[in-house]
Amino acid sequence: MSEIRQDQATKRWVVMATERAKRPRDLAPKEAPEVQEEEHSPDCPFCPGNESRTPPEVLAYRDEGGEPNTPGWQARVVPNAFPALRPEGEVEIRQPHWFTSVTGVGAHEVLVESPKHNADLATMSIEDVSVAVRAVAERFEALQQDRRLRYIACFRNHGRPAGSSLTHPHTQIIATPIAPTNVREEIEEARRHYDDRLHCVYCEVMERERECNERIVLETDSYFVFEPFASRWPFETWIVPKRHSAIFTLGGAADIESLAHALHTTLKALHRGVGDPAYNLVLHEAPLRDSCEDYYHWHIEILPRLATAAGFELGTGIWINTVMPEQSAEYLREFVGD
């Protein structure tokens, strides 16, 4: 008999469809698709030498020095050339014929994570991953100052099935003047849990996962990596900081390095074990200037696109998963470490 699991933090339901069950190993492509990309692609707007093909950079690291918008950078953040939102004008609410809209004030930035066209977070060095993490943290600090913004969404689309149209490794940041409905609902559930139990539900999830010890992928000094009890996708993996905080903030170099380590190890395990699957990586944190410090908990969700969300998922918000997270976590642990 199938089992319908509920995520304790969000109250989301997932059908674990045992009738359709797949073993984790069956999801790994027999051979990872080896599209041999070159280290430099003359047509890629993110490759060194093509800096003029993006809007002017808002951040770049150049250890050897050099002019802005020229080669020599290790990581580079630029506004998206076709931005969903722009950091111009005022946030105004409008009500055309009773309907509600808000002016599209915000930010849409792209972090180019490496000068190498064929690099990937899963295979690059931990030092290079740290550079990318540092850039994200620095952009968060800058964007948090803008009082027009309510939320900063940071995400990574890897592979075409995950919605990525460019090969060159990159992460996107979209800052919005409104609080996302998903985040609002997560916070509402977390608040209820806190009001009932007097502690953070994400902190409790980590504690309970440690007790039953079936779905942990990795635990470091600072991060807890596991496959959630109610995983929506095969190999859904969460990276949760052990230190409680509602807002994504990294204190300094040590903080940046420990997140880079957890992220690198997790992505490397997925890359090796599941043959470089397409995935969406999403950072979840509290809206800006929102006092939910005691009960919300920032974290990263990695959602491998190993199944297609169809009518049932889009209509109901209930997901169907064919791989038990206990099995995928056990499988993934084989690929953790060097």
> Does residue 198 touch a copy of itself according to CB under 8 A?
no
Smallest gap from residue 19 Cβ to a copy of itself (A):
5
| Binding residues among 228-257 for a copy of itself as defined by CB under 8 A | 229-230
Closest separation in Å from C-beta 162 to a copy of itself: 6
Q: How far apart are CA 97 and CA 93, in angstroms?
A: 13
Of these, 38, 182, 253, 334, which contacts a copy of itself (CB under 8 A)? 182
Q: Which residue shows structure tokens 């000068």?
A: 115
C-beta of 137: minimal distance to a copy of itself in Å? Answer: 18
Nearer to a copy of itself, 251 or 315 (CB): 315
Task: Verify binding: residue 142, a copy of itself, rule CB under 8 A.
Answer: no
Paired with 238 in beta bridges are 226, 301
Whose CA is closest to 75, among 35, 142, 108, 121?
121
Tell me how many residues contact a copy of itself (CB under 8 A): 78
- Strand ranges inside 149-242, DSSP E: 151-158, 170-176, 216-219, 223-226, 237-241
- Choose among 37, 40, 78: nearest CA to 57: 78
The residue (of 18 and 52) whose beta carbon lies closer to a copy of itself is 18
Compute the least distance from the CB of residue 18 to a copy of itself, in Å. 8
- Write out the binding residues for a copy of itself, residues 95-134 only, by CB under 8 A: 96-105
Residues 6+ apart with CB under 8 A from 272: 335
Residue 198 or 314 with smaller CB distance to a copy of itself: 314
The number of angstroms, rounded, from the C-alpha of 309 to the middle of its chain's C-alpha atoms is 18
